[in-house]
Amino acid sequence: MDSLSFNEFFQGQSLNFLLRAIRVALEEDGLELTSRAVFPAGHRSKIALIAKQDAILAGLSLVPIVMAEAQRFELAAKNPAISRISPDPSARSVPLVRPEPGERSAQSGPIASNQEPDWPAWPDWSWQPVATEGAAVKNGDRLAIIEGSTRLLLKAERIMLNFITHMSGVATLTARYVQALEGSGVRLLDTRKTLPGLRAAEKYAVQVGGGCNHRFSLEDMLMLKDNHIDAAGSISKAVGLLRAAYAPCPPIEVECRNQAEVLEAVAAGADRIMLDNMEPEAIGEAMSVIPRSIETEVSGGVNLENIAALVRGPWVNGSGQSASGSERGVSCSGQALRRPPDFISVGRITHSAPQVDFSIRFLK
């Protein structure tokens, strides 16, 4: 899918998942007893979010959401009638209205009698972004300024950092893989290997880093993996059962482990064929028999060291003739690839992305 802005991406179910994750994080932390004892209720401070390493920035737009939810949490501690965590975010009938940078109030409009506001009516804070989402920030860059209740800032700071540093880590690693694919025509996909509850946040960060999203859930595409195929008895049988079960039938992707399975998937009319854990030579052989009408995806054991060999392989040059041995780099049983694969999927851009080093500094 094409890259979307934060507000475009986080709508409906994706927004609900994000809000649940933030609210659970606030509940895990509990009350900020230290700040309550040290600072009076009216004490105010100004803080800056600072980059301590070069990175791709993702998740900065979470700042007003975390601040508003933290204030909701604090208000709930004073007023039991306000729920700390909405039990069913998907049941909201009032659209979320996010505070604009520098804005000090944000009401979501008329509230049903059985609902609390989506945002506290008078936020005790304001914020000003300095960097932009998706920017390549440098060590020492100031990313945002936030001003408000000291108690509230100290309640929210770690949760903001946890989300933003993780999402920026995903975006930064994704960008490295995208750079490794530059010029190949192959698109980078993520996977479902995401942290429970954080899939929407991580897939958004993949887009910020220049990658593309594979399916969000099991409902988005029919995918026959090795266990499905082994249990069903064959690729042909499993594809036939899927087409008989759904009308219209969603796209079907088939995971293939060898050339025989590739040929069977082609004959069965798969919409996309995944070449799973294949060596470059085997990928070349598979690509030579897959028609252009079927999408192709390389997957399994992909890292920055082997990604070029897995997707570049022995191409056909612009004249339609196979490239020379020196150009090909990887032998493919004397056969040149008719085309590069359409996609390469990499689980480690989400499950193994290191957090980047950002910090919060008190300015006054």
Same domain, 357 and 313: no
Is 143:130 a contact under the CB 8 Å cutoff? yes
- Residue 81 confidence (pLDDT): 56
Same domain, 229 and 126: no
- Residue 3 confidence (pLDDT): 59
- Which CATH number do you get for residue 324? 3.20.20.70
- Which CATH number do you get for residue 26? 3.90.1170.20
- Residue 76 confidence (pLDDT): 83
Q: Is 206 a member of any domain?
A: no
Q: Is 341 a member of any domain?
A: yes
DSSP code of residue 98: P
Q: Is 202 a member of any domain?
A: no
Low-confidence ranges of the chain (pLDDT < 70): 1-3, 79-122, 313-338
Same domain, 141 and 242: no
Give the CA count within 13 Å in the CB-facing half-sphere of 5. Answer: 4
Specify the number of domains making up the chain: 2
Task: Calculate the alpha carbon distances from 264 to 258, 273, 351 in Å.
Answer: 10, 10, 32
Same domain, 155 and 292: no
Same domain, 102 and 51: yes
Q: Is 192 a member of any domain?
A: no
Q: Is 315 a member of any domain?
A: yes
Same domain, 256 and 284: yes
- Residue 315 confidence (pLDDT): 42
Same domain, 36 and 171: yes
- Residue 80 confidence (pLDDT): 60
Same domain, 110 and 251: no
Q: Is 307 a member of any domain?
A: yes
Same domain, 310 and 358: no
Is 206:172 a contact under the CB 8 Å cutoff? no
Q: Is 163 a member of any domain?
A: yes
- Residue 209 confidence (pLDDT): 97
Same domain, 230 and 301: yes
Residues annotated as catalytic are 158, 193, 225, 255, 276
Same domain, 313 and 358: no
pTM for this one? 0.83
> In this structure, what token pair is assigned to residue 293?
């009408």
Q: Among residues 172, 243, 155, 161, which one has the least CA distance to residue 208?
A: 172
Same domain, 159 and 241: no
Q: Which residue range is the domain that position 66 belongs to?
A: 6-180+353-362
Q: What is the pLDDT of residues 118-154, one digit of tens each?
A: 445 567 899 999 999 999 999 999 999 999 999 999 9
- Residue 93 confidence (pLDDT): 29
Place of tokens 């196979």: 322
- Residue 168 confidence (pLDDT): 98
Q: Is 67 a member of any domain?
A: yes
